[in-house]
Amino acid sequence: MKILLTGVAGFIGWKTAQRLLEEGHIVIGIDNLNTYYDPSIKEWRLKTLLGNPKFRFHKVDIENRGALKLLFEFYRDFDAVMNLAARAGVRYSIKNPYVYFTTNAEGTLNLLELCKDFGVKKFLLASTSSLYAGQPMPFKEELPVNTPISPYAASKKSAEVSCYVYHYLYGLDVSIVRYFTVYGPAGRPDMSIFRFIYKIIKDEPIEIYGDGNQSRDFTYVDDIADGTVKALKPIGYEIINLGGNNPYSLREVLELLEKFLGKRAKVTYRDFHKADLKATWADISKAQKLLGWKPKVSLEEGIRRTVKWFKENWNWVKNIKLP
């Protein structure tokens, strides 16, 4: 297959591109390489892909419909579009909500329109567990997610319903994958596991918002990439959770980090943030049934691999500026 993959220099986009290339697909990757977090880690990810003859990269923003159209005209025959480009981060979305809607909602609309115009049959959207705020756990895809508590979640809801419109009106085959707290090597510097490792190594205090008992369904990035690629199959219109199916508290995560780093963390506790969820937990029975997918990497093994990557790359990772 020839696949247009947006957000290819992002954490999950990069790992998904690796998986697609391993399976022999042609990947046309685009990214705007924005500076929401330190772009040096995006450049590192991109360099690991550029040597593959089946990979091409273009610096393009999905908000730029004209540039996207030129790309579609040049390549003509995409078999699928995988939209993993997004403005991420719950708290920053409160400070700058507009860019979340122009990227996550309008950018998705640009891609959907071009899929319609150029006859692309398959569309995959990366979405988020943040939509499940206030819902009973474990979170099932059938729950009404009509009460988002951040502009980020609201923008992703907008993208999801736009996908349904294009499925209904034009027969576009759509898979929406809702990710649950993804972590792993070369992760996002704004996410807790990256920040904790970075600060513990530097002997700096880490910040925990709340008492540390809030829990997340942490999911290793390789498992997420595997499920994302599996979701390329013809499916009609489906929303599918991809999560670890086993929530852990931040305190438990911290204990594992201290174990593999061999040093204690200095912790500063802050007030719990209003836009955060107290807990997440994915029901993954639908992913198992439709995709034959379930996570393979335990939290302990995933953290061991992540700490190992940090140690092997610390000569340049130590210079990354945290958001």
Q: Which residues are catalytic?
A: 152
**Nearest by Cα to 253 from 292, 175, 166, 195:** 195
Beta carbons of 65 and 110 less than 8 angstroms apart: yes
Cα separation, 86 vs 158, in Å, equals 13
E strand or H helix that includes residue 29: strand 26-31
Pairwise CA distance, residues 7 & 30, whole Å = 6
d(CA 105, CA 109): 6
* Amino acid at residue number 280: T
Beta bridge partners of 82: 5, 124
Burial, 228: exposed, middle or buried (Cβ in 10 Å; 0-12, 13-18, 19+)?
A: buried
Burial class (CB in 10 A: 0-12, 13-18, 19+), 168: exposed
- DSSP code for 102: I
**Number of residues in the chain:** 323
Q: How far apart are the first and last CA of the chain?
A: 37
3-state secondary structure of 226: helix
